[in-house]
Amino acid sequence: MKILFIADIVGQPGRRAVNELVPKLRREHGLHMVVANGENSAGGSGITPATAAEIFNAGVDIITSGDHLWDQKEVMDLLGRELRFVRPLNYPLGTPGQGSAMFQAEGMPPVGVINLQGRTFMPPLENPFHAVLAEVERIRRRTNIIVIDFHAEATSEKIALARMLDGIVSAVLGTHTHVQTADEQIFPGGTAFLCDAGFTGPHDSVIGRQIEPIIKRFMTNMPQKFEVAKGNVMLQGAIVEIDETNGRARKIERISEQVSVVGKQPQ
């Protein structure tokens, strides 16, 4: 089984990359499933039902999120009705939405997808290390193929959680920093790991935003409006190949694909 994980989709340029490249990647790699982090897909901050629909229509099966979950008020509609959308699992009991989801491609076993949010240099949530163990145990009653999007800042936190889960989940893929790391590997127990999958959107930027306002903020400490940049649009992430009989990862490959055809820009 081959699963594509798409790193943080940033604004309209990121959605355009998904629209143009996901069908191509599905054909070229024989993908069975696509998971994407969509927490920055609406104007570069948050997600709405409209941007989620655009991402699903492009061929994404499950959308994950992170600390920008609440930036658009329309997200409440997604949390209330969309079973293909997940928020971080480690919110307190009673928070709208779900922290995991299941997807099953034709002829393949089901796949569990869990979204977690870190706590180091991040808004305070419940402990993801405790929350994930109970959820993994629950999901493994149905399938041994489990993919985790760990939305976290600290590399040590991401590595520690992946090491803890080695051999009981198929992959732990980091998001949030928007900088793709070069540490893709498969741990001894069969868990694929990448500390950060990067981001999908304009790379002539500062992690997706226009350059000059970011520099001005650092130079002056004065508030600036951080608009989404436009140039050098890329889709980043990873493809994980998993043995569907035992859930162990066979291969992990980083993806960094440039959008080559610029058509009419969707609004």
Kindly list the catalytic residues.
Answer: 68
Q: ∠241-115-33 over CA atoms, to 5°?
A: 35
Phi-psi region of 161 (alpha: psi -120 to 50; beta: other; left: phi over 0): alpha
> Does residue 89 come out as left (phi exceeding 0), alpha (psi in the -120 to 50 range) or beta?
alpha
- List of residues 6+ apart from 216 with CB closer than 8 A: 222, 224
Q: Reduce the secondary structure of 41-78 to three states and give it as a string.
A: CCCCCCCCHHHHHHHHHCCCCEEECCCCCCCCCCHHHH
CA 264 – CA 258 distance, rounded (Å): 17
Q: Are 100 and 113 in contact (CB under 8 A)?
A: yes
Query: What number of H helices and E strands is found in the chain?
Result: 6, 13
Q: What element of type H or E holds 13? A: helix 11-29
- Tokens representing 178 are 């928007």
Q: How many CA atoms lie within 13 A of 23 on its CB side?
A: 6
